[in-house]
Amino acid sequence: MKLRLSLQTLQVLDAFLQAPKDWKYGYDISRNTGLKSGTLYPILMRLAERKLLETSWETAEIGKPPRHLYRLTPDGLRFAWGHRLSRSTGRVSRTAFSGAKS
């Protein structure tokens, strides 16, 4: 199964590249990209299924629901760098080696 590299998927990958080793909440990714949850969460699930993201549940305080966290895997980092968006044109800037199968 091939990963769909829609503009929205590229926006999500670009958001992770801003601080590639940091864990991120879906809500924060949504705010940074402007994507609605119905678009964002399926993208996050596809990236995680392909081992480009790792996920974790944050333990919450009593009375608060746990929150899902996401960050790039080493393969995900290589893939994201290989398919990053050009800030000036909004187009994909591909490198010769992407590292992960798409």
Domain segments of the chain as ranges = 7-94
Note the pLDDT of residue 97.
44
**Cβ contact 61:36 at 8 Å:** no
Instruction: Mention every residue, 6+ apart, whose C-beta is less than 8 A from residue 29.
Output: 12, 15, 16, 35, 40, 44, 70
Note the pLDDT of residue 64.
84
Note the pLDDT of residue 79.
94
3-state secondary structure of 24: strand
pLDDT tens profile 48-71? 999 999 999 988 788 888 889 999
Note the pLDDT of residue 91.
57
CATH 3.10.310.30 matches 7-94: no
Regions in the chain scoring below 70 on pLDDT? 1-4, 85-102
Beta-bridge partners for 94: 83
Nearest residue to 76 via CA among 38, 39, 42, 49: 49
